[in-house]
Structure 1
Amino acid sequence: MSAETMAALTPLRGLWRTSGHVLDGSGRRTAEITGTDEYELMTGGQWLIHRVDVLVGGARTVALELIGDPGEDGTFAMRAFDGSGAYDEMRLSVADGGVLHLAGEGVRSTLRVDRDAMEALWERDDGVRWVPWMEMRFDRIR
């Protein structure tokens, strides 16, 4: 993989203050999310390491995600592991204008990234349609 390929993820790099809410199927806020997300390039430049440390409704969630391994379709693999032992995999695609699309089994998100902030709306498949799941904001700390 070339450094140019991973350069598409450079805007994510840094430490971010995380805030947001879990939403019910009607879009009503049901739990607050606070904490930090950090993205750093692993030595060798082949993977972006994503560390998550947040409170969701007061319950701590810690996760580690590796982003890289671009496919022939231009999307990146996202492999996440959390403190409970759960493992998840999604794909990330880069669009114009600082927009990233994330998709996994039954979940998807659009992340809008600029220099000092990011915003994301997560949706989940309820079996009939896509419904709001989480609204998130990330403010750059460094």
Structure 2
Amino acid sequence: MNKIENSNFKRLIGVWKTTGVIKSGENNLNIIGTDSYELILDGNYILHKADVKMGNDRSETFEIIRLVNTLYKAKMQYFNSKGEEGTMESSIINSQFKIEGPHLKFSGKINKENTKISGKWYSQTKNDQWVELIELNLEKQISTI
């Protein structure tokens, strides 16, 4: 088994300041908070913790990231403070960072210095159209690699 610490996902390791905007019609909501990614269980997994404020609501998420037979694709299992859970698949290839789950996807870029991630979350409508849901920016505060 490939250790995740040897993969493209090691670029995520550290503490990030998270900002963004939730597109909700005329009244967009601001996002501000922290995301952290740390190697766990002898470098085989990454624990991702998100603690953000979306408008007036606080949201916390824990996620385990594990590789899927390659150094650039992973599965993500998440649990959040609303009692929701699910799985998504992701990839980091060159500067492209993609995440896909049921009716939800993220398309973003990581800069060469691994200090900034910017991208957008999209939601799939009932008629299979993809609409922009969240514009997101992460800026690394502390690197732990």
TM-score (norm 1): 0.88
Partner in structure 1 of residue 89 of structure 2: 91
Whichever residue aligns with residue 116 of structure 1, its letter is: T
Alpha-carbon distance, 1:29 to partner: 6.0
Identity of aligned residues (%): 23
- Pairing of 1:66-77 with structure 2 (within 5 A): 66-71=64-69, 75-77=73-75
CA contact (8 A) 2:88 2:101 kept: yes
Please report the RMSD computed on the Cα atoms of aligned residues, expressed in angstroms.
Answer: 1.9
Whichever residue aligns with residue 22 of structure 1, its letter is: I
Whichever residue aligns with residue 66 of structure 1, its letter is: I
Whichever residue aligns with residue 126 of structure 2, its letter is: G
Partner in structure 2 of residue 104 of structure 1: 101
CA contact (8 A) 1:94 1:100 kept: yes
* Over 6 Å off, 4+ runs: none
Determine the C-alpha separation between the residues in 2 that align with 1:138 and 1:29.
Answer: 22
Determine the C-alpha separation between the residues in 1 that align with 2:31 and 2:140.
Answer: 16
Size of the aligned set, in residue pairs, is 138
- Pairing of 1:4-43 with structure 2 (within 5 A): 6-24=6-24, 30-43=28-41
Structure 1 unaligned regions, length at least 5 = none
Give a deviation string over 1:41-100, Cα, whole Å, max 9, x none. Answer: 11311111100000001100011000104157x63110000122210210002222x211
CA 1:59–1:3: 2 relative to 1, 3 Å: same
Partner in structure 1 of residue 120 of structure 2: 121
Determine the C-alpha separation between the residues in 1 that align with 2:40 and 2:109.
Answer: 23
SS in 2 for 1:127: coil
Partner in structure 2 of residue 59 of structure 1: 57
